[in-house]
Structure 1
Amino acid sequence: MPKSRNSVLNSAFTKKIVSVKGGRPSEGRCKPVTVRFTEYEHDQLMQAVHETGMTASDLIRQTAAGIEIKARPAPVTNDLLKELIAWGNNLNQIAYKCNSGGSPIAEISEILTKCYNALARIEQTIQGGASK
């Protein structure tokens, strides 16, 4: 039975680690490939490199191997997610107080308002309209 294209590619791109005395292990990459791009193709590649944070070589290698490439998250999104996590921790503390007999209604209202605002900023960022 013939091998599928993906199984052939995956076996072709499996890394073979070779020890090198006195240096880092080589990954067996000894076959250079020269590729010429049009201006448009080069621009597309450089845009993908910028969006993923990968090198052009790694991006091309992983694409050829059929690995799904994802853009790295924008730093503004990370900041908003960290803030949302902090508010989630505050809500957990309030829930703990409520379950132990306390009733911090004012704290709950304030935290929920801040969470709602953080979620609104995250949604705006995801839709591309936010600036930090």
Structure 2
Amino acid sequence: MTNKGGRPRLSASQKKKYKVDVKMSTEDYYTLKSKAMKAGMTKSEYMRRCIHDSSVRERLSPEHQKQIRQLCGMANNLNQIARKANAQGYSNARSEYLHLAKQIDQLLNQL
């Protein structure tokens, strides 16, 4: 068989055989179109690049949300201890501070 020229065949992993339909608002569509044009790519190639080059962080689990709320409460407690220390003297607030600091360390280690 003689070589007729043309583009070499793509391997199975290089072929683009899947199609994904995406619904967008008008604003999103024109943003995509504009960014792809500025990048000198087709909309499809731009979206493929976005998929490869970006990352999405997972949502916080309910357990992590609970721990963050606990940290916020502990921060409020620290502020109260600081006010007490300023008003009554530092020696009275020291034990409360040490106890709360230990709890915060434990919670941060869990996160």
Structure ID, larger Rg: 2
**Same topology, TM > 0.5:** no
Structure with more of its chain in helix, by fraction = 2
TM-score in terms of structure 2 length:
0.44
